[in-house]
Each structure stands twice: as structure tokens, then as C-alpha cells.
């Protein structure tokens, strides 16, 4: 093989290598810079109570312990809470323990004679101190512990009674008042 032929072959091999290298360079992908978008999503805390009805009537019998309300009322408590919340409680209360209902003429039915049965339980008078309302004029209907149920709800079906056995001398009249339901998450 002549020196000229050898040189020719070497040149051919070099040319092929250069071509292959060029192809590999071209084969590399080209990327743009990454463009970031900052995302912020806010899930706000919420706690609400809705009632199936907002009025209850009672037909009273003097001195009678059983004077049920005309309808049951269902309270639905719904929450979306953060991880620092441990429990949700629902309370019923009056603003005044001595005059839960009044005839406006000085005669009153105290909260201690107003009773609620929650979800079929026993009737209980509103004599406790709730976070809301008057002293000794409240009742905690229920408590739900928050363990992994940061988003949830509870239902309380309430039936009502006015016990007049301790008020046998209550004068005939129309007695009105406002019972308030409110939830608290702590």
C-alpha cells in the first residue's frame, strides 16, 4: 500500500469521525430556561350552623311538666378547620337565664324550665354556662373531636319541652323568647 493510499484512508476515517461527532452534537436536545409560576392556594377555615326551622310554638298547660314544642329542629354544623383545632361543640343558649321566655309584663319562664332532647337523648334544661349567652342559660348539645376530620359535619335533631311544674302559678299569657344555636371550634 502506497503512502498516498494510506494517507487517503486516514483522511477518510477522520472525515467519518468528524461527521459522526457533528451528528452527535446536533442530536443533543436544546432546552429553554425554566419559567416558574408561584402558586398560592388558600383553604380558609369555616364553621357554620344551619337550622331546619327557625320557629317553635308551645301550647302550655299550667303546672304541667310536659309541654312539647310544635316541631323538632335539626341543626347541621359544618366545618373546614386547620390542624390546630381539636374539637367542635354545639351550644344552645338564651341571653338571660331568668327570662328565657317572657310575657313582657314581668312574668318569665327561666331557662331552667326549658329543655332540649338532642338526637333522642334525655331532656336537659339549659342551666349550664356556655361560651355564649347568659350565665347558667346554656346547654352543650354535643362535641365532635377533630382527628383527621378537618372537614366534616354533625347533625343534631332537637326536640323541645317547657316544664311548668316548677311554675304552677305562671299567669296565662303569650311568652316569647329566642333560643340561639352556635358552634365553637377550639
Smallest separation (angstroms) from other proteins to the CB of 83: 5
Q: Is residue 46 a contact residue for other proteins (CB under 8 A)?
A: yes
Sheet holding 46-51, edge to edge: 46-51, 73-80, 151-162, 114-118, 123-125
Give me the residues paired with residue 124 across strands: 116
| Cβ contacts of 177 within 8 Å, gap of 6 or more | 94, 99, 100, 101, 102, 109
Q: Is residue 147 a contact residue for other proteins (CB under 8 A)?
A: no
Smallest separation (angstroms) from other proteins to the CB of 130: 24
Of 80-88, 135-143, 155-163, 172-180, which segment contacts other proteins by CB under 8 A? Answer: 80-88
| Contact between residue 119 and residue 73 where contact means Cβ atoms under 8 Å apart | no
Nearer to other proteins, 82 or 176 (CB): 82
Near other proteins by CB under 8 A: residue from 44, 54, 169, 174: 44
Q: Is residue 55 a contact residue for other proteins (CB under 8 A)?
A: no
Helix (H) or strand (E) holding 143: strand 138-145
The binding site for other proteins (CB under 8 A) comprises 26-46, 80-83, 148-152
Amino acid at each position: 500500500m502506497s503512502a498516498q493510499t494510506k494517507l487517503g484512508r486516514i483522511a477518510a476515517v477522520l472525515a467519518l469521525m468528524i461527521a459522526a461527532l457533528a451528528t452527535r452534537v446536533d442530536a443533543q436536545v436544546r432546552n429553554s430556561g425554566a419559567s416558574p409560576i408561584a402558586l398560592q392556594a388558600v383553604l380558609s377555615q369555616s364553621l357554620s350552623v344551619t337550622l331546619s326551622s327557625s320557629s317553635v310554638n308551645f301550647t302550655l298547660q299550667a303546672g304541667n311538666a310536659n309541654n312539647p314544642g310544635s316541631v323538632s329542629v335539626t341543626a347541621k354544623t359544618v366545618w373546614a378547620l386547620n390542624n390546630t383545632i381539636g374539637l367542635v361543640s354545639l351550644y344552645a343558649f338564651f341571653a338571660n337565664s331568668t327570662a328565657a321566655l317572657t310575657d313582657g309584663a314581668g312574668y318569665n319562664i327561666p331557662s331552667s324550665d326549658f329543655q332540649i332532647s338532642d338526637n333522642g337523648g334525655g331532656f336537659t334544661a339549659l342551666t349550664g354556662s356556655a361560651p355564649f349567652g347568659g350565665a347558667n342559660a346554656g346547654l352543650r348539645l354535643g362535641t365532635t373531636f377533630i382527628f383527621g376530620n378537618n372537614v366534616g359535619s354533625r347533625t343534631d335533631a332537637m326536640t323541645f319541652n317547657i316544664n311548668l311544674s316548677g311554675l304552677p302559678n305562671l299567669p296565662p299569657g303569650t311568652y316569647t323568647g329566642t333560643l340561639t344555636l352556635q358552634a365553637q371550634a377550639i
